[in-house]
């Protein structure tokens, strides 16, 4: 009995669910009936194609300040954010031990000079006596050797003094150029190691010239061939709303690298007229104009089709049918493509391939639209037509080669079998 009750409840729930689902199915069918535009008019407009990218802002000159000798920081004259002029002292090491060593070296030099004077007198006396044959050759040679040793001792003491004085000059670190202090990881009294020691020494400061800044960007390999050194770049900074300024391409890497799974080329852009609000580490959005035309005939990207290198459109005739017409294209952006020949203003073109032998526009399997191909290639991917395996084309720019869709006619519907 219980099994029959459970079965009745399940059947009732299924009927109720089906009854509730029908209105939603109807809404889905209604949404599918909403038609998108299938035709567009040939119009005159301006077209500008630009390469978009993003990069990180950084200083053109940045230096990690490390002492050349070991020591203890006695004075640290700057802090984070301070602006420092060329030649200003950044920090000073304690030179007490070096001053003591310098005094010792000075004493050694004085003693070496006295030894040299005595050895010189003995040698001169021995030389006179040897000429008179009053002393042996051995005594003469010994006095000469002592004189040479005394000269060497003085030279060695003077060399040691120069080394100490050189270290003393390195206890005071000065700014090599006009700069701003970015980091200061140490404090007064901390012992630091020299750059010639372990791990290249202790970093005391990081300084940078913020009067000249650059942007390091990664440009897709499909776009880098259109760039050149000296080309202007339009820049927007995400952190500063509404801020726009100009830059210029300074360097293009000769070899490709892979970053975030995209193969491209490192590009360095020099900034002009830097706003005081721009700081290192901010993200910049770049727009690099490549090609532009004004007041030209154009159609939407979706209206241009391609087959074996031929570019063509479907033009609507007075009787409502469509004719295929070859066109020459020029500059393209994300929305429109320039028509250099093959169309006149005011004509109407199809945005989808017409059905074979029929007037209305129908949906048929086709390659991705020109707009989708353009967006995919700009983002670093490759668009392949379903079942075709051939990559999509690069968007039209100065070369005038815009990608378009393939238009293989749909297969005719099967003929229904007759009833016998």
CATH assignment of the domain containing 83: 2.40.50.100
**DSSP secondary structure of 356-400:** TT-SSB-----PPPHHHHHHHHHTT---B-TTT-PBPPPPPSTT-
Q: How do strand 336-341 and strand 328-332 relate by DSSP bridges?
A: antiparallel
CA distance 106 to 268: 53
CA distance 78 to 179: 11
C-beta of residue 364 within 8 angstroms of C-beta of residue 409? yes
**DSSP secondary structure of 401-417:** ----B--PPPPPPPPPP
List beta partners, residue 180. 83, 208
List beta partners, residue 58. 214
Domain end residue (candidates: 290, 308, 329): 290
User: What pLDDT was estimated at residue 35?
Assistant: 63
Q: What is the CATH number of the domain that holds 109?
A: 1.10.287.470
374 and 327: one domain? yes
Q: Which residues span the domain enclosing 309?
A: 39-50+293-378
Q: Mean pLDDT of residues grouped by 10 in the chain (420 residues)?
A: 64 64 52 68 85 89 91 93 92 93 94 94 92 90 94 94 93 92 92 82 91 90 87 89 88 90 91 83 89 85 86 89 89 85 88 66 44 49 37 38 42 39
147 and 190: one domain? no
Q: Is the dihedral of CA 177, 181, 185, 190 positive or negative?
A: positive
- How many residues make up the chain in this entry? 420
Q: Please check whether residue 390 lies inside any domain of the structure.
A: no
CA distance 302 to 372: 9
192 and 233: one domain? no
Q: What is the CATH number of the domain that holds 327?
A: 2.40.420.20
Q: Please check whether residue 13 lies inside any domain of the structure.
A: no
CA 332 to each of CA 69, 85, 146, 349, 379: distance values in angstroms, whole numbers, following the listed order:
61, 50, 91, 17, 16
Q: Please check whether residue 28 lies inside any domain of the structure.
A: no
User: What pLDDT was estimated at residue 39?
Assistant: 87
Domain end residue (candidates: 290, 316, 339): 290
DSSP 302: G
Q: Please check whether residue 101 lies inside any domain of the structure.
A: yes
CA distance 200 to 68: 9
Q: Please check whether residue 230 lies inside any domain of the structure.
A: yes
CA distance 113 to 110: 5
User: What pLDDT was estimated at residue 8?
Assistant: 63
283 and 304: one domain? no
User: What pLDDT was estimated at residue 292?
Assistant: 78
81 and 198: one domain? yes
CA distance 187 to 357: 84
CA distance 80 to 172: 19
**Coil vs helix vs strand at 292:** strand
109 and 223: one domain? no
73 and 195: one domain? yes
189 and 257: one domain? no
Number of structural domains (the chain) is 4
Q: Please check whether residue 406 lies inside any domain of the structure.
A: no
Tokens 């030279």 correspond to 155
pTM over the 0.85 mark: no
User: What pLDDT was estimated at residue 288?
Assistant: 87
237 and 345: one domain? no
* Residue 175, both tokens: 């700014």
254 and 359: one domain? no
CA distance 314 to 349: 5
Q: Please check whether residue 109 lies inside any domain of the structure.
A: yes
User: What pLDDT was estimated at residue 17?
Assistant: 66
User: What pLDDT was estimated at residue 22?
Assistant: 55
User: What pLDDT was estimated at residue 40?
Assistant: 87
Domain end residue (candidates: 290, 310, 341): 290
72 and 198: one domain? yes
Residue (of 210, 150, 221, 140) closest to 182 by Cα position: 210
- Mark out the alpha helices in 218-331 (DSSP H runs): none
User: What pLDDT was estimated at residue 407?
Assistant: 42
**Coil vs helix vs strand at 263:** strand
Q: Please check whether residue 412 lies inside any domain of the structure.
A: no
241 and 279: one domain? yes
Tokens 């399940």 correspond to 10
């Amino acid at each position: 009995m219980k099994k029959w009750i459970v079965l009745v409840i399940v059947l009732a729930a299924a009927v109720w669910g089906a009854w509730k689902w029908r209105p939603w199915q109807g809404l889905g069918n209604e949404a599918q009936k909403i038609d998108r535009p299938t035709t567009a008019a040939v119009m005159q407009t301006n077209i500008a194609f630009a390469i978009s990218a993003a990069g990180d802002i950084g200083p053109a000159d940045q230096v990690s300040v490390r002492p050349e000798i070991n020591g203890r920081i006695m004075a640290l004259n700057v802090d984070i954010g301070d602006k420092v002029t060329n030649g200003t002292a950044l920090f000073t090491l304690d030179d007490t031990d070096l001053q003591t060593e310098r005094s010792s070296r000075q004493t050694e030099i004085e003693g070496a000079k006295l030894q040299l004077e005595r050895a010189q007198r003995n040698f001169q006396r021995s030389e006179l006596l040897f000429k008179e044959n009053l002393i042996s050759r051995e005594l003469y040679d010994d006095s000469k050797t002592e004189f040479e040793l005394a000269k060497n001792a003085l030279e060695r003491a003077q060399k040691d003094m120069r080394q100490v004085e050189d270290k003393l000059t390195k206890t005071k670190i000065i700014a090599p150029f006009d700069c701003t202090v970015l980091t200061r990881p140490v404090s007064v009294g901390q012992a630091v190691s020299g750059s010639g020691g372990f791990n290249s020494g202790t970093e005391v400061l990081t300084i940078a010239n913020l009067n000249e800044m650059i942007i390091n960007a990664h440009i897709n390999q499909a776009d880098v061939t259109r760039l050149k050194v000296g080309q202007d770049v339009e820049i927007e900074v995400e952190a500063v709303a509404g801020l726009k300024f100009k830059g210029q391409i300074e360097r293009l890497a000769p070899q490709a690298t892979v970053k975030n799974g995209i193969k491209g080329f490192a590009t360095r852009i020099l900034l002009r007229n830097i706003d005081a609000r721009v700081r290192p580490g901010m993200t910049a959005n770049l727009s690099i104009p490549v090609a532009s035309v004004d007041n030209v005939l154009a159609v939407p990207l979706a209206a241009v089709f391609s087959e074996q290198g031929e570019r063509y459109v479907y033009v609507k005739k007075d009787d409502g049918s469509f004719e295929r017409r070859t066109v020459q294209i020029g500059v393209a952006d994300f929305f429109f493509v320039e028509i250099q020949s093959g169309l006149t203003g005011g004509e109407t073109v199809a945005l989808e391939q017409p059905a074979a032998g029929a007037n209305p526009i129908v949906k048929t399997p086709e390659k991705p639209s020109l707009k989708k191909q353009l967006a995919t290639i700009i983002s670093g991917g490759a668009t392949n037509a379903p079942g075709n395996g051939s990559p999509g084309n690069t968007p039209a720019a100065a070369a005038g080669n815009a990608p378009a869709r393939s238009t293989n006619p749909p297969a005719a519907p099967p003929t229904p079998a007759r009833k016998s």
